[in-house]
Structure 1
Amino acid sequence: MADNPQFSVNLTLLEGYKFEVDFGDAGTLITDEPQPLGENNGPNPSRLLAASVANCLAASLMFAIRKFKEDPGQVKATVSGEMVRQDNRWRIADMQVELNLGNDAQSLPHLERALTQFENFCVVTQSVRQGINVKVSVKDASGKVMLS
């Protein structure tokens, strides 16, 4: 990886608050604000941020587990956030991310080690945490809480 990797994303206003987001080779996405501002024709920036945090954490967890040649199974993530007023403006105060592994903990002998390091692999979450509290929990396929 380069010393300072760079990226760019291009946005074009289509109408109202609806934008086309161009990720280049990765395709495009339509975003929009919910009513009454927009028409809710796509996710808004707050939801995109939440999806980015959850996706990065899930990928980082899979990477940490796969480093030990183990299979996390079908990983799923759920993220929720809380909006609060700060100086009379809406801000994202915190996010809760729940990661669910597709396999039981006993089938992952190095899971404990993976859990101690995976969050540090997540570029997005570690960047966002500088301004937003992000809480993470991990459950195995049986629902057993492995990290809280």
Structure 2
Amino acid sequence: MSESNSFSVQMRLLEGFKFEIDFGSAGQVLTDEPPPLGDGEGPNPSRLLAAAVANCLAASLLFAIRKFKEDPGQVSAQVRGDLERQEGRWRISKLSVELNLGTEAMTIPHLERALSQFENFCVVTQSVRQGIEVSVSVRDSNGDLLHQG
């Protein structure tokens, strides 16, 4: 039997296509569709999904490195989403995530081990990958490519 946990997020329409998403004690976020549907006053759901994938991967990489009590420096991420028509409807076909460490690879002794496992820690990415291609790369502060998956 599998273990199950649940979570809840509330949202309400404010006007047009603008919603307030309430994360409870974590606060609220406004979302909106870009013109011509909405006014672009907040990120749309596609961008929220991309941000969730990148954020989860960055946190998973931090966890994988920090469990060896090592410091990855200032980690940053950039994510690009590709949209394509599938059966006449726009769909996210691919997310490409680039994670950047704030330090050189040589300063992280267990980096290779962390890189081999961090993607598996990411709940969001592994769930999204069941329907959307997600590619991941990691670079150090010199821009050297350390991981591509």
Query: Secondary structure in 1 aligned to 2:11?
Result: strand
When the two chains are superposed, the root-mean-square deviation of aligned CA atoms in Å is 0.5
TM-score normalised by the chain length of structure 2: 0.97
Residue 76 of structure 2 is aligned to residue 84 of structure 1 = no
Task: Give me the whole-angstrom Cα distance separating, in 1, the residues matched to 2:103 and 2:7.
Answer: 34
Query: Secondary structure in 2 aligned to 1:106?
Result: helix
Moved segments of 4+, more than 6 Å: none
TM-score normalised by the chain length of structure 1: 0.98
Percent of residue pairs bearing the same amino acid type? 68
- The answer for the alignment partner of 1:25 in structure 2 is 25
* Partner AA of 1:14 in structure 2: L
Aligned residue pair count: 146
- Deviations 1:104-135 (Å, cap 9, x if unpaired)? 00000100000000000000000000000000
- Deviations 1:48-102 (Å, cap 9, x if unpaired)? 0000000000000000000100000000000001000001000000010000000
- The answer for the alignment partner of 2:72 in structure 1 is 72
Query: Secondary structure in 2 aligned to 1:12?
Result: strand
- The answer for the alignment partner of 2:123 in structure 1 is 123
* Partner AA of 2:101 in structure 1: L
- The answer for the alignment partner of 1:50 in structure 2 is 50
In the alignment, structure 2 segments of 5+ residues that lack a partner are none
CA positional deviation for 1:33: 0.1
In the alignment, structure 1 segments of 5+ residues that lack a partner are none
